[in-house]
């Protein structure tokens, strides 16, 4: 089943053509790595795929719904899409558990169950001890796990991760990839932006962007690096 489909999508900012006609589908159970030089449109692609930005032309469909026709895009995003941003975007005045439960509460889940779900997913990503700490009290690796937990909570079908391994050491980076891969194997669709061939090796497909276009796509599953 296709979770996200981009059809001939362009995105223009004034004079800048960030994307110039990209088509891409990601299915349940598929992890697609997006690679390419800085400025090639990787983050733009992710933002469009998750409905955080709207295309200048072309269409984006999530779980069969054309985003152009969706009235409450925020609600669809909260239910279906989990993001891990480059800069994490954790709220410093909330504990790790509160950060993770926030999207559930915004979606109408009551505080008790939302907190239980948050703790369970924090445990799952190996950040159970961080639950009652604030982001500022955590190491970079722990903060990253909390951000991943926030993206996973609520069983979202589409996970978008923009260089989630950022400045992490390779052991923590591998752990993050293992978590994304597990969710994928459990049925999620994952789009992962990465510069590192080491992490792209966990993907089922690699899409290379150059100047806002798909320059190359390989469908080889590179088992050797796992
Ligand atoms: P990448 O993530 O591959 O580094 P981006 O998707 O961030 O690339 O950006 C692609 C191109 O679009 C770049 O030239 C960038 O400067 C431009 N761009 C992205 N967002 C905006 C924006 N909001 N306004 C103007 N230009 C933008
Ligand atoms: Mg980027």
Q: Is residue 59 part of a domain?
A: yes
**C-alpha to C-alpha distance for 99 and 92, rounded to whole angstroms:** 9
- 44 CA from centroid of ligand 1 (Å): 6
pLDDT of residue 220: 52
Q: Is residue 143 part of a domain?
A: no
How many domains does the chain contain in total? 1
- 41 CA from centroid of ligand 2 (Å): 7
**C-alpha to C-alpha distance for 150 and 99, rounded to whole angstroms:** 7
Enclosing domain of residue 73: 2-90+158-225
- 193 CA from centroid of ligand 2 (Å): 8
**C-alpha to C-alpha distance for 167 and 19, rounded to whole angstroms:** 26
Q: Is residue 32 part of a domain?
A: yes
- 165 CA from centroid of ligand 1 (Å): 20
- Tell which residue, 6, 25, 118, has the closest CA to residue 67: 6
Q: Decide: 13 in ligand 1 pocket, CB within 6 A.
A: yes
- 163 CA from centroid of ligand 2 (Å): 8
Task: Give φ, ψ of 188 to 5 degrees.
Answer: -75, 160
Mutate to test the pocket of ligand 1, among 10, 13, 160 (most ligand atoms within 8 A of CB): 13
Q: Decide: 40 in ligand 1 pocket, CB within 6 A.
A: yes
Q: Decide: 16 in ligand 1 pocket, CB within 6 A.
A: yes
pLDDT of residue 211: 96
pLDDT of residue 226: 47
Q: Is residue 136 part of a domain?
A: no
Residue showing tokens 């795929």: 49
Q: Decide: 47 in ligand 1 pocket, CB within 6 A.
A: no
Q: Decide: 3 in ligand 1 pocket, CB within 6 A.
A: no
pLDDT by residue, tens only, the chain of 226 residues: 999 999 999 999 999 999 999 999 999 999 999 999 999 999 999 999 999 999 999 999 999 999 999 999 999 998 899 988 766 789 999 999 999 999 899 888 999 999 999 999 999 888 999 999 999 999 988 998 899 899 989 878 999 999 888 777 888 888 889 989 998 999 999 999 999 999 999 999 999 999 999 997 776 555 444 4
Q: Are the C-beta atoms of residues 191 and 160 closer than 8 Å to each other?
A: yes
Q: Which tokens is 123 given?
A: 């445990």
CATH assignment at residue 83: 3.40.50.300
Q: Is residue 111 part of a domain?
A: no
What atom of ligand 1 comes closest to residue 193's alpha carbon?
2
pTM for this prediction: 0.90
How many C-alpha atoms does 13 have within 13 Å on its Cβ side?
A: 8
pLDDT of residue 69: 95
pLDDT of residue 221: 52
Q: Is residue 173 part of a domain?
A: yes
Q: Is residue 142 part of a domain?
A: no
Q: Is residue 106 part of a domain?
A: no
């Amino acid at each position: 089943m296709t979770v996200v489909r981009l059809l001939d999508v362009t995105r223009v900012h004034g004079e800048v053509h960030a994307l110039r006609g990209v088509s891409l589908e990601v299915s349940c159970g598929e992890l697609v790595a997006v690679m390419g030089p800085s400025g090639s449109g990787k983050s733009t692609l992710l933002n469009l795929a998750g409905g955080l930005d709207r295309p200048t032309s072309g269409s984006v469909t999530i779980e069969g719904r054309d985003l152009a026709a969706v009235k409450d895009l925020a609600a669809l995003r909260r239910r279906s899409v989990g993001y891990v941003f480059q800069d994490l975007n954790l709220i410093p005045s909330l504990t790790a558990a509160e950060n993770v439960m926030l999207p559930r509460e915004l979606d109408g889940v009551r505080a008790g169950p939302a907190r239980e779900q948050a703790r369970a997913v924090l445990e799952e990503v190996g950040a159970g001890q961080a639950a009652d700490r604030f982001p500022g009290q955590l190491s970079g690796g722990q903060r990253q796990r909390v951000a991943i937990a926030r993206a996973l909570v609520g069983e979202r079908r589409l996970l978008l991760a923009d260089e989630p391994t950022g400045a992490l050491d390779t052991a923590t980076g591998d752990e993050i990839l293992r978590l994304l891969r597990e969710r994928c194997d459990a049925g999620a669709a994952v789009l992962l932006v990465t510069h590192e061939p080491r992490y792209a090796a966990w993907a089922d497909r690699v899409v290379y962007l150059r100047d806002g276009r798909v320059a190359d796509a390989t469908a080889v599953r590179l088992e050797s690096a796992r």
